[in-house]
């Protein structure tokens, strides 16, 4: 007897997005936590270090070992060679399209590429090229200024310039004062001691700052210098009376994350608060508009959970959409449950159960008799889901406002049956505070009923986070049936 195989994995594989195209929120959240940890003041550590130095008699820096010195020199040599390779590659590219398709390995090479693209776009606009646009120039300029390495290098160059100016001004003042003393020889009054000369400020530029300084000084082509094109782009930006209006009307297709030059994504404060709550295994209700970044939260929950996640969606279309995405993201460990079909991967433990409320309730909590080989031989079947709500580590409810919908009763019973933390998401909750209070009231009701001496037990708090801004502006179109006339 041959066992029947399901075609669902093939369907999900064909529906899933290309490999590597799915955003991993866990990696971004780890970077954000590391950035926050590094930016926190370390006054206590500094005081301990100073105290230790005083005890040791102001001991200097620890001398580097020979191995560390060799490693640093090898790393610096590698960066230098990679930078030379990047510059050689960029020197052969003459068009904006070629530069857009090019990639660079080093930070200096990436800055050079962006500056060259901005220069070509600015020169095309000045010369009135058909393909040129103000939006293109400003898009590249903002992407360049968003690069931390470019921003830091510019600040270093400005600091060096200011230090040189201060030195020159002090030298001029010294010359003036000495000339006045020579012209007025007063023998009656004793000469005052000359003021001690101020120590000269010297700014040591980083390798990126040195490269940027040389590029701005020597970088040029037949149409002008890189320095002049940068001034032109910044003058163009400052000439806009209402910059926000210009962005929304002239370049809505270029605002992040749609810009091809600026693909950086930064987590917002409200997202960080919920991600931190997920790390602490707390329940949360999130009300935020469409396109504001709620999917990031649900994906992180499914990725970071130590066990299986129950993901409840209101429609079968959404189930297939999310299942296809997660099939690629979690390498096939996805279970689907709708009114039309039920499927679970029997080769391993499912990372996430995805389904509609009534179908999930029927499949997980139905009465299970001695039917099927999974009961007699301990074998799992791909069409019969593993029962019981105890297996879920987290409950995710997308479009939670459907509590008031056709399957709201089943959704309420699922919420009451699960004893794990809950993440409830929606864009259209009118009574968010009331919903949060309801979650606090109904959670763990089935557990409290079995505990006789638990009258004073405190229910776990449910976090409420409301956000009212969109990540990008939505475009609205009006369709009319009337025919257009010339």
Is position 481 within any domain?
no
Is position 219 within any domain?
yes
pLDDT band at 348 (very low <50, low <70, confident <90, very high): low
Domain end residue (candidates: 264, 282, 309): 264
Q: Name the region of 399 (left: φ>0; alpha: ψ -120 to 50; beta: rest).
A: left
pLDDT one-digit tens code per residue, 205-254: 888 888 889 989 888 888 889 999 999 999 999 999 999 889 888 888 88
CATH number at residue 393: 3.40.50.300
Cα within 13 Å of Cα(281), Cβ side: 9
Q: What is the mean pLDDT of the chain?
A: 80
254/356 same-domain check: no
Cα within 13 Å of Cα(188), Cβ side: 1
Among 74-83, 91-100, 331-340, the range scoring the smallest mean pLDDT is 331-340
240/320 same-domain check: no
pLDDT at 231 (0 to 100): 93
SS3 457: coil
pLDDT one-digit tens code per residue, 107-130: 889 999 999 999 999 999 999 999
pLDDT at 186 (0 to 100): 53
Is position 43 within any domain?
no
239/362 same-domain check: no
Q: Are 443 and 460 in contact (CB under 8 A)?
A: yes
pLDDT at 57 (0 to 100): 53
pLDDT one-digit tens code per residue, 246-263: 988 888 888 777 788 887
pLDDT band at 471 (very low <50, low <70, confident <90, very high): low
Residue 337 forms beta bridges with which residues? 342, 355
Q: 333-341, long-range: CB within 8 Å, 24+ apart, which pairs?
A: 334/12, 335/385, 336/8, 337/363, 337/364, 337/385, 340/316, 341/8
Overall domain count for the chain: 2
pLDDT band at 423 (very low <50, low <70, confident <90, very high): very high
pLDDT at 373 (0 to 100): 47
Q: How far apart are the first and last CA of the chain?
A: 72
pLDDT band at 372 (very low <50, low <70, confident <90, very high): very low
Q: Pairing between strand 283-287 and 462-466?
A: parallel
pLDDT at 388 over 60: yes
pTM attached to this predicted model: 0.68
pLDDT at 40 over 90: no
Identify the domain containing residue 462 by its residue range. Answer: 269-466
pLDDT one-digit tens code per residue, 271-311: 999 999 999 999 999 998 887 889 999 999 998 988 889 99
111/164 same-domain check: yes
């Amino acid at each position: 007897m041959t066992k029947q195989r399901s075609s669902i994995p093939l369907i999900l594989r064909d529906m899933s997005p290309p490999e590597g195209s799915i955003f991993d929120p866990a990696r971004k959240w780890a970077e954000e936590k590391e950035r926050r940890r590094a930016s926190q003041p370390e006054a206590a550590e500094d005081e301990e270090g100073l105290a230790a130095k005083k005890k040791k008699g102001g001991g200097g820096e620890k001398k580097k070992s020979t191995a560390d010195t060799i490693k640093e020199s090898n790393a610096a040599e590698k960066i230098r060679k990679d930078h030379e390779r990047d510059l050689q590659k960029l020197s052969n590219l003459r068009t904006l399209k070629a530069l857009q398709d090019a990639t660079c390995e080093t930070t200096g090479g990436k800055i050079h590429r962006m500056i060259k693209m901005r220069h070509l776009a600015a020169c095309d606009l000045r010369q009135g090229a058909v393909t040129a646009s103000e939006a293109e120039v400003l898009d590249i300029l903002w992407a360049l200024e968003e690069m931390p390495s470019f921003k830091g290098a510019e600040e270093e160059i400005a600091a060096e310039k200011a230090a040189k100016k201060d030195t020159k001004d002090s030298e001029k003042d010294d010359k003036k004062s000495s000339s006045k003393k020579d012209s007025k020889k007063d023998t009656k009054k004793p000469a005052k001691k000359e003021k001690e000369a101020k120590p000269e400020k010297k700014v040591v530029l980083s390798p990126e700052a040195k490269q940027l300084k040389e590029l701005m000084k020597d970088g040029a082509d037949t149409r002008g210098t890189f320095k002049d094109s940068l001034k032109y782009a910044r003058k163009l930006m400052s000439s806009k009376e209402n910059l926000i209006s210009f962005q929304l009307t002239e370049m809505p297709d270029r605002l992040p994350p749609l810009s091809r030059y600026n693909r950086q994504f930064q987590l917002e404060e409200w997202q960080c608060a919920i991600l931190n709550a997920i790390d602490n295994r707390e329940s949360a209700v999130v009300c935020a508009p469409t396109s504001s970044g709620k999917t990031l939260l649900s994906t992180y929950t499914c990725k970071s959970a130590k066990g299986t996640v129950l993901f409840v969606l209101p429609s079968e279309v959404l189930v297939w959409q999310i299942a296809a995405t997660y099939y690629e993201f979690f390498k096939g460990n996805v279970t689907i449950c709708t009114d039309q079909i039920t499927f679970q991967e029997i080769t391993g433990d499912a990372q996430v159960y995805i389904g509609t409320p009534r179908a999930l309730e029927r499949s997980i909590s139905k009465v299970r008799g001695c039917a099927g080989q999974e009961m007699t031989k301990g074998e799992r079947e791909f069409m019969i889901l593993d029962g019981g709500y105890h297996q879920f580590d987290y409950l995710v409810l997308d479009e939670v406002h459907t509590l008031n919908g056709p399957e709201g009763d089943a959704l309420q019973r699922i919420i009451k049956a699960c004893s794990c933390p809950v993440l409830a998401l929606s864009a259209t909750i009118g009574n968010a505070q009331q919903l949060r209070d309801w979650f606090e009231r109904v959670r763990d009701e089935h557990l409290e009923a079995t505990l006789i001496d638990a009258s004073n037990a405190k229910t776990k708090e449910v976090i409420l986070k409301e956000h009212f801004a969109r990540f990008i502006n939505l475009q609205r179109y009006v369709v009319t049936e009337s025919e257009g006339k010339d």
